[in-house]
Amino acid sequence: MKPILKIRDLKKNYQDLDGEVEALGGINLDVYEGELLSIVGPSGCGKTSLLSVLSNLENKSDGSIELGKETIKIGYMLQKDALFPWRTILENCLIGLEIQHNLTEETKNRVIQLLNTYGLGDFMNKYPSSLSGGMKQRVALIRTLAIDPDILFLDEPFSALDYLTRIYLSEDVYNIIKKEGKTAILVTHDLAEAVSLSDRVAVLSKRPAVVKKVYTINIPNKSTPIKNRKRKEFQHYYDLIWRDLDAHI
């Protein structure tokens, strides 16, 4: 299979008055179309930096990022929902299309359909303040999907939520991503989340980060994340990755 993203020797340094911080020390990673790839690593190892560089929010210091197609549209879902309080749910979801000058009757209807499909239709004309944290994060995902991205970057999208909400929301997000057939990179510090959701898990070392190991999660008759958590293979991968991380903490 041809990778949609081919990352080679990617380096990122941050400059400040005290000197230079090496965040990424040469990342090598392929991302394949349609997969859900998780990136885990010790805190502060540069997981978010990797997404920032990949999505052009920050410039890379060295290395290369090869795209599988001519252009790749990236949908970036942040840790916090960042919904604009003065816009309704629908207007919030349309902001990407507005900015990319792509707001037509057709694209708008597609977003309305997404909202309806994923249980937010009744809240379309409400303001974010009337939604719960989990619902807001779901709106944030639909806002990300609204621009019809080729690849989704999910930067710890559940970490600001309470335990129950994050379990159920991760189930929802998993279903949405698979149903829409999107490629996704999920950055998380939660190993259980990574193992239960992903097709593959990449483990980063501490700073300057390199890819220490990539696990293909092989759970026979793979099901939804909540069910995956109950399988014996889940524990197996969890322990393996845990040991990888442990050596570096």
Partner 1 sequence: MPTYSEEHKTFLKKRRRKKIIILICQFLIILFFLSLWEIASKTGIINSFLSSSPSQVVNTFISLLKQNNLWNHVYITVYETLISFVIASVLGFGIASLLWWFPTLAKVVDPYLTVLNSLPKVALGPLIIIWIGANMNSIIFMALMISLFITIINIYNGFQLVDYYYITLLKTLNASKRQIFQKLIVPSNKNIIINCLKVNISMSLIGVIMGELLVSKEGLGYLIMYGSQVFNINLVITSVVILAVVAYLMYLVISFIEKKIVQSK
In this structure, are residues 50 and 84 in contact, taking their beta carbons and an 8 Å threshold?
no
Give 99 or 226: the residue with its C-beta nearer to partner 1.
99
> In terms of CB distance, is 32 or 76 closer to partner 1?
76
The residues of the shown chain that bind partner 1, judged by CB under 8 A, are: 55, 57, 74, 76, 78, 80, 82, 84, 86, 95-96, 98-100, 147
Q: How far is the CB of 148 from partner 1 (least distance, A)?
A: 12
Give the position of tokens 């259980």: 192
Q: Smallest gap, in angstroms, from Cβ of residue 213 to partner 1?
A: 29
Closer CB to partner 1, residue 88 or residue 165?
88
The answer for residues whose C-beta is within 8 angstroms of residue 18's C-beta and 6 or more apart is none
How far apart are the C-alpha atoms of 164 and 170, rounded to whole Å?
10
Nearest-approach distance from CB 57 to partner 1, in angstroms: 6
CB burial string 93-127: b at 16+ within 10 A, e below: bbbbbeeeeebeeebeeebbebbeebebeebbeeb
Nearer to partner 1, 45 or 140 (CB): 140
Shortest separation between residue 226's beta carbon and partner 1, angstroms:
29
